[in-house]
């Protein structure tokens, strides 16, 4: 298995991006697009190879590689190394990232019409950063990749969206604000573990060994600093304001990546750092996290119900779904934990699907106002059927990927050690209330766009595309949806059903990892 190299996995998108940017690459949009698409598909295949050779019963990090520069560790004297590792948990997110980036690039064919030369490299750089976050085994390496994601995302939001750069700025400010506090926490953690153990190291595993000797309030301080950074990303309710705006003002493939992968960074961070390094503090904070999660869930759902912009509905749906992740993590039980991770994967697929739907509709109708839409089922029946699957997934119908996650989280919540049990039951009741509300707004979204009488301006054969004032008449296939869009939607729909029918296919991958993390917590 020597051909499975994590550095190659992480850095190949970056190298390809630089290659496309370099003056040697032909400045031809078709070539750029096809090249990036081909690369993305290859990358996805490569990442699935990791899965094929992955031994789910393996205890600890299955793939591990320290990256050295001419045989020198990255920051050797500081105990900081460029060590990448992959366990079950990372693997799940790595494959999700690779998959969604592939879909985003396929979707870009119809969504992106300008500046290909910069767009595709940015997406690929973003991919590198995301993969790095999920594979970093060193605290500061993690932080490096965490920050690396910021700049490509800023341009992707501001340049190809609605030209509303304030949303992109908001995104950057929120995220950077959070990550600065996170850095504070990491630095303090790093030096205090040094002062106690005498070994200067930033390796996650080694750090996790020395935590218990800290004073409780001190651990809580670091815990909160770290949590703040992840809370902005996840997002947890008072810090979520960037999400809806960034989603609305960015173009579809970018929103797919944002909702599909970027939000998961927060959840992943909470698992790796807050749970992995501070199990004791975490168990003290767990009820608070559960409450925050429920607030997320209900607040997001309530907001989604009254939105008139369909993309905002999806954005608040994401907010609401992430609440369930928080509840699952807070429950501190195996079922809850696995449910939370499963929910992240499932939400990645479902939110991407919904955003893709919204994007397809927006591309053809030039509007996202729910009152201005209707009757699209008659123009795009295939889109409707695929959309139906995705919407059912979003509602959390069984045999779609949303259900196992929710179910595990609910049972996990009840199985947790938190007292009193009445509190847990209340939380469960509120969680399922969120499920009812989700049916309300998702069906509203689906019905108002696809059903009803068809509006006269949407005809199946010719669609007016208005980009920068140029009126281009594009002849779409008779079904009203292009091939690349069908590919994206049907792959997502397939994945949603597949993971819904075979939830164990995902759960098995990270089961051992979650056992390790939870065992650690109980000790």
Partner 1 sequence: MNAVLTTISEYFVQSIATVLFLPLWVVLMIFINSSIPFLASKKMTLNLTLGSSFLGFVFAVFSLFYCIKNPQALVENNITWMSTDFQISFGVFVDNLSALMLVFTSLICFVVQLFSFGYMKKDESFHRFYIYLNLFMFCIFGFILASNVIQSYVFLELVGVITYLLIGFWYKKRSATRAARKAFIINRIGDVCLLIGIVVLVYFSVVFNSAQNMVTLSYSTLQFAVETLYSMVSDNAYLAIGVLIFLGIMAKTAQIPMQNWIVGTIEAPAPATALMNSFGIVAVGVYLCARFYPLFILSKSLMIFITFIGIVTALIGAYVAMSQNDLRKILAYSTSSQLGVVLVGFGVGAFSASIFCFVVHGVTKALMFLVGGALITSLKNEADIRYMGACREKLPLYAFSFFIGAISLCGALFSGFYSEASLFNSVLDFGNEFLSFGFLLFVFMSAFYLFRAYFLIFEGDKKDDISQDFSEWTIKCSIVLLSLIVIFIGYILRGCFGDFIFFISPDKLNYLNLVQNVLLLFVVFGAGFIAYQLYMAQNKTYIILKEKALNKSNLPYKLSYNAFYFDKVSDWFAESLFLRLCRFFDFIEKYVIGGIFVVLALTTRVFSYIFSRSQTGNVQSYVTYSLIVLSGVLAVVAVLYILGSLMGV
Partner 2 sequence: MDFLTDIKVAFLPELIIAGFVFINIFLSLFFNKKFYKTSQWIAILGVLSAFAAIGMVQAEPTYQAFNNSLICNVYTVFFKSLILVASFFVILISHKVIKKKRAKAFEHFSILFCAILGAMLLVSANDFLSAFAALEMLGISCYLLSALLKNYRAKESSLKYLISGIVASAVFLFGVSYIYGITGTINFDNLMLALEGYQGSMLFALASIMVVSALTMRISAMPFANYVPDVYNGSSYPVGAFLSIVPVVAGFSFLSRFLLIVSPYSPALGVVIMIFALLTICYGVYGALRQTDMRRFMGYSSTIQSGFMLLVLGVVNAYNISSLLYYLICYLFMALALWAGLSMFYNSTGRDDIGAYRGVAYSRPFYTTAMIFVLMAFAGLPPTSGFLAKFFVMSAIARLGFMYIIFLLVALLLMVVGVCVYLKPLRVMFEKTSENINMPNKAVFTKITLYVCTAVTILLCLYSAKIIEFCELIAYSL
Binding site for partner 2 (CB under 8 A): 18, 21-23, 69-70, 72-78, 115, 117-118, 140, 143-145, 147-148, 150-151, 154-155, 158-159, 163, 165, 169, 172-173, 176-177, 180-181, 183-184, 187-188, 190-191, 468
d(CA 290, CA 488): 34
Residue 60 near residue 89 (C-beta atoms within 8 A): no
* 428 touches, from partner 2, partner 1, none (C-beta below 5 to 8 Å by class): partner 1
Least Å distance, CB 178 to partner 2, is: 10
334 half-sphere exposure, CB direction, 13 A CA radius:
12
- Residue 137 per-residue DSSP state: -
**Closer to partner 1 by Cβ: residue 16 or 314:** 314
In whole angstroms, the minimum distance from the beta carbon of 188 to partner 2 comes to 6
Q: Which is nearer to partner 2, 190 or 458 (CB)?
A: 190
- Partner whose footprint covers residue 196, from partner 1, partner 2, none (CB < 5 to 8 Å by kind): none
Distance CA 142, CA 149 (A): 11
Binding partner of residue 504 among partner 1, partner 2, none, CB under 5 to 8 Å per kind?
partner 1
Helices 381-395 and 483-501: crossing angle, nearest 10°? 30
Q: In the bound complex, what is the minimum distance in angstroms from residue 31's beta carbon to partner 2?
A: 15
Q: Which does residue 184 touch among partner 1, partner 2, none (CB within 5 to 8 A, set by kind)? A: partner 2
- Closer residue to partner 1 (CB): 99 or 510: 510
- Does an H or E element contain 471, and which? strand 470-475
- The distance of closest approach from Cβ of residue 501 to partner 1 in the complex, given in angstroms and rounded to an integer, is 8
Residue 199 binds which entry of partner 1, partner 2, none, CB below 5-8 Å type-dependent? none
Nearer to partner 2, 187 or 295 (CB): 187
Q: How far is the CB of 146 from partner 2 (least distance, A)?
A: 9
Largest CA distance in the chain: 74
Rounded distance, CA 433 to CA 419, Å? 22
- Judged by beta carbon, residue 21 or residue 432, the one nearer partner 2 is 21
Report the C-alpha gap between 397 and 162 in whole angstroms.
34
**Footprint on this chain of partner 1 (rule: CB under 8 A):** 170, 173-174, 238, 240-241, 299, 302-303, 305-307, 333-335, 338-339, 375, 377-378, 392, 395, 397-399, 403-404, 407-408, 410-412, 414-415, 425, 428-429, 432-433, 435-436, 439-440, 443-444, 447, 450-453, 503-504, 507, 511
- The nearest distance, CB 218 to partner 2, in angstroms, is 8
Rounded distance, CA 366 to CA 464, Å? 9
What CA–CA distance (Å, rounded) separates 184 from 110? 42
> CB under 5 to 8 A by kind: which of partner 1, partner 2, none does 382 bind?
none
Q: How far is the CB of 170 from partner 1 (least distance, A)?
A: 6
Specify the residue, 116 or 368, whose C-beta has the smaller distance to partner 2.
116
Instruction: Give the C-alpha distances (Å, rounded to integers) separating 285 from 221, 277, 280, 346.
Output: 12, 14, 9, 26
On whether the CB atoms of residues 172 and 154 are closer than 8 A, the answer is yes
- Pick from partner 2, partner 1, none: which does 435 bind, CB < 5 to 8 A by kind? partner 1
The nearest distance, CB 311 to partner 2, in angstroms, is: 22
Q: Is there a contact between 98 and 132 (Cβ–Cβ < 8 Å)?
A: no
Nearer to partner 2, 146 or 458 (CB): 146
CA-wise closest residue to 104 among 498, 467, 492: 492
Taking the complex as a whole, the smallest distance from the CB of residue 408 to partner 1 amounts, in Å, to 6
Nearby residues of 167 by Cβ (< 8 Å), 6 or more positions away: 157, 158, 161, 242, 245, 246, 248, 249, 250
- Give kind and range of the element (H or E) at residue 294: helix 279-306
Look at the chain and count its residues. Answer: 523
Q: Is 466 in a helix, a strand, or coil?
A: strand
191 binds, among partner 2, partner 1, none (CB under 5 to 8 A by kind): partner 2
Nearest approach in angstroms of CB 402 to partner 1 is 11
Backbone angles phi, psi at 234, to 5 degrees: -60, -45
Burial class (CB in 10 A: 0-12, 13-18, 19+), 59: exposed
Which of the listed partners (partner 1, partner 2, none) does 399 bind, with a CB threshold of 5 to 8 Å by partner kind? partner 1
Looking at the Cβ atoms of 21 and 460, the one nearer to partner 2 is 21
Residue 17 vs 303, nearer CB to partner 1: 303
Residue 498: name its binding partner from partner 1, partner 2, none (Cβ under 5 to 8 Å by kind): none
CB of 294 to partner 1, least distance (A): 14
Closest CB 498 distance from partner 1, rounded Å: 13
* 423 CB burial (10 A radius; 0-12, 13-18, 19+): middle
29 binds, among partner 2, partner 1, none (CB under 5 to 8 A by kind): none
Question: Of 430, 153, 402, 450, whose CA–CA distance to 300 is shortest?
Answer: 430
**If contact means CB under 5 to 8 A according to the sort of partner, which of partner 2, partner 1, none does residue 482 touch?**
none
Would you state the torsion angle of the CA atoms of residues 481, 484, 486, 488, taken in this order, to the nearest 10 degrees?
-140
């Amino acid at each position: 298995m020597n051909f499975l190299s994590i550095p190659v996995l992480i850095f190949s998108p970056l190298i390809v991006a630089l290659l496309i940017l370099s003056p040697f690459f032909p400045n031809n949009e078709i070539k750029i697009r096809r090249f990036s698409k081909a690369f993305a598909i290859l990358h996805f295949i490569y990442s699935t190879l990791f899965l094929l050779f992955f031994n789910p019963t393996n205890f600890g990090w299955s793939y591990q590689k320290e990256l050295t520069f001419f045989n020198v560790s990255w920051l050797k004297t500081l105990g900081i190394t460029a060590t990448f590792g992959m366990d079950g948990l990372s693997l799940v997110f790595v494959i999700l990232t690779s998959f969604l980036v592939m879909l985003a690039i396929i979707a870009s064919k119809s969504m992106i019409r300008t500046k290909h030369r910069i767009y595709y490299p940015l997406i690929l750089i973003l991919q590198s950063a995301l993969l790095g976050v999920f594979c970093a085994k060193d605290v500061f390496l993690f932080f490096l990749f965490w920050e690396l994601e910021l700049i490509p995302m800023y341009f992707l939001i501001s340049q190809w969206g609605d030209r509303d750069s304030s949303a992109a700025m908001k995104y950057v400010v929120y995220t950077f604000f959070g990550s600065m506090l996170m850095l504070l926490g990491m630095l303090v953690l790093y030096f205090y573990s040094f002062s106690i153990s005498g070994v200067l190291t930033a390796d996650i595993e080694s750090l996790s060994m020395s935590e218990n000797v800290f004073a409780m309030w001190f651990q809580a301080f670091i815990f909160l600093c770290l949590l703040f950074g992840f809370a902005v990303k996840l997002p947890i309710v008072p810090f979520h304001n960037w999400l809806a705006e960034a989603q609305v003002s960015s173009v579809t493939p970018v929103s797919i990546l944002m909702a599909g992968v970027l939000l998961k960074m927060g959840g992943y961070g909470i698992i790796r750092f807050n749970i992995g390094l501070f199990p004791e503090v975490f168990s003290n904070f767990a009820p608070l996290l559960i409450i925050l999660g429920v607030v997320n869930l209900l607040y997001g759902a309530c907001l989604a119900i009254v939105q008139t912009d369909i993309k905002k509905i999806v954005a608040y749906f994401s907010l609401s779904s992430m609440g369930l992740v928080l509840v699952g993590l807070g429950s501190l039980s195996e079922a809850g934990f696995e449910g939370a991770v499963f929910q992240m994967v499932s939400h990645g697929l479902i939110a991407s699907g919904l955003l893709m739907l919204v994007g397809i509709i927006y591309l053809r109708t030039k509007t996202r106002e729910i009152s201005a839409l209707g009757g699209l089922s008659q123009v795009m029946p295939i889109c409707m059927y695929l959309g139906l699957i995705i919407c059912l997934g979003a509602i959390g119908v069984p045999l779609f990927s949303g259900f196992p996650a929710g179910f595990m989280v609910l049972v996990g919540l009840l199985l947790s050690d938190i007292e009193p049990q009445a509190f847990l039951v209340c939380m469960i009741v509120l969680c399922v209330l969120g499920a009812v509300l989700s049916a309300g707004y998702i069906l509203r979204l689906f019905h108002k766009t696809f059903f009803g009488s068809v509006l006269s301006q949407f005809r199946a054969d010719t669609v007016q595309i208005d980009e920068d004032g140029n009126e281009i008449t594009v002849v779409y296939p008779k079904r009203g949806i292009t091939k690349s869009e069908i590919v994206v939607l049907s792959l997502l729909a397939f994945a949603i059903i597949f993971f819904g029918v075979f939830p164990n296919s995902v759960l098995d991958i990270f089961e051992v990892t979650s056992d390790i993390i939870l065992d650690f917590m109980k000790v």
